[in-house]
Amino acid sequence: MGKRDELNELIYEYYESRILFGIYKYGEQLKSVPQICTLFRVARNTVQIAFSRLEENGYIKTEKRKVARVVYQGSEELFRENVVTYFALRREGIQDVQFNGNLVFSSIWEKGIQNLKQDLQKNPGGTKTAGQAASEPIRLYVDVLNTFHNELLLGLFWQNMRYISYFYPPRNDRKANYAVEDLLSAENANRLKEETDAYYYNIYLGIMEFIDLNRETYHLEHETQIPFIWTIYRKRPQVRYTLASTIIREILWDVYPVGSYLPSLPKMAERYHVSLITVRRTLDVLNSLGVTRTYMGIGTKVYLESVDIDIMGRPEIRENLRLHGEAMQILALTVRNVTHYTLESVKRERRKELLQTIRMLHDKNNSILCIDVLLNFISSECPSASLREIYGKLRELVAWGYIFSAVLMAAGQMEANSDDLICRMEDALQTDNSEVFAGLWQLFVEERLNSFYKKFPLWNAQGDRFSP
């Protein structure tokens, strides 16, 4: 499932929820396809696929040269129950996203605004989208995020929006205009964001009150909560790559030392809770990366060999390295805030355990392992469930940087020594200086990100979209 499928799903769920909630009612017309294309920044075909699904499921009726019309019929009581059910089962997660989401998105916004200012310097007249941004504030967020050219980041944002269902705002409720002569400046963008944040916060408060007043009516107070899940959309099946990422991390941590054999296929299937065919496909991936070699009738041996740079021409390798680079950029933008928050929230015993793990890194000289230590800590100890989910997924993608290390080995290049930085991290932990500790991690990740793109400017190629 690739990017196009993700956008289809986004548009489908957007209109499905609004029809089920009674925002769009029987007989009403939706926006035209060109209007929706402009709103979501998608191609016409993407909208049409989503509309086909909506029609198949009995929500709308489409006709040639006419806008889609709602055919779903529901009572006010049913609409009310749909709203209560959706939000009541996500109450805890929505609270989490509301209060902790800024730990991720505030720093991304600040950097994005800097990018926007640079764009505006190249175009002193401003960006002629202010009127549209004022009426559709979500578009401003998307425009700012698009300055990173990071599909993974944009997907994370949209999935957050899908989870909270945009806080169910009344239709056509925003009329404010922050344009100056119909031009959008970075300053106007910041002002619009502040107003939009306040607007959505009031909607959030209203939704929480609505849930608390009505969930007992529908016997939802004891139902299991639905957490936020970040799905990474790939062009190829995901399970084998997720498992390969896990095994690479375990090999680097000497769970499976170089020279040893991996467990048998049935034991691996049992250990990782996957099918035998998934294990076989995962081993094919690991063998192609020089991580392992499979000997017929004997088993699969761990090698961690260097690999030829020609491997970069393979589509699946390029996709995984693209995701690695985009994950590293998200990490570079957010790691300071999230690390500081997590470290300040945990007990002293967990800090001591983290210190002991960091001390184990001195003889490793492996940036992937270093980052894995932090991501493992945050994804298991952070008080925020949504941040644990996000950093757990980043941990999977960061491990694909092993390919980067393997190619450098083939070229006779070694990673930069990290001992000095590790010592400074130890000092910061020992003195309980969470702010310095978090800053050191940001510095470390930024250096590795810059090194990655300097060595592998993969996204200059046609069909790829990324620049550091």
pLDDT (tens digit per residue) in 369-398? 899 999 999 999 999 999 999 999 999 999
Look at residues 274, 216, 288 and name the one whose alpha carbon lies nearest to residue 246: 274
Give the pLDDT band of residue 144 (cuts 50, 70, 90): confident
Give the pLDDT band of residue 268 (cuts 50, 70, 90): very high
Instruction: Give CATH 1.20.120 domain extents, the chain.
Output: 310-460
Q: Indicate whether 284 pLDDT > 80.
A: yes
CA distance 332 to 323: 14
Class of domain 239-305: mainly alpha
User: Between 36 and 38, whose confidence is greater?
Assistant: 36
Give the pLDDT band of residue 459 (cuts 50, 70, 90): very low
DSSP per position, 241-270? HHHHHHHHHHHHTTSS-TT-BPPPHHHHHH
* Per-residue confidence (pLDDT) for residue 137, from 0 to 100: 60
CA 321-322-327 angle, to 5 degrees, is: 95
* Per-residue confidence (pLDDT) for residue 131, from 0 to 100: 39
Q: Indicate whether 366 pLDDT > 60.
A: yes
Q: Indicate whether 179 pLDDT > 60.
A: no
User: Between 252 and 332, whose confidence is greater?
Assistant: 332
* Per-residue confidence (pLDDT) for residue 172, from 0 to 100: 52
pLDDT in tens, 86-127: 999 999 999 999 899 999 998 998 898 888 777 766 765 544
| E strand intervals along 331-400 | none
Class of domain 310-460: mainly alpha
* Per-residue confidence (pLDDT) for residue 425, from 0 to 100: 96
In this structure, CATH architecture of domain 3-74: Orthogonal Bundle (1.10)
Instruction: Give CATH 1.10.10.10 domain extents, the chain.
Output: 3-74, 239-305
User: Between 217 and 384, whose confidence is greater?
Assistant: 384
* Average pLDDT of the residues in 199-213: 86
Give the pLDDT band of residue 177 (cuts 50, 70, 90): very low
Name the DSSP letter for residue 184.
Answer: B
* Per-residue confidence (pLDDT) for residue 465, from 0 to 100: 34
CA distance 185 to 191: 10
- Mean pLDDT, rounded, of the chain: 85
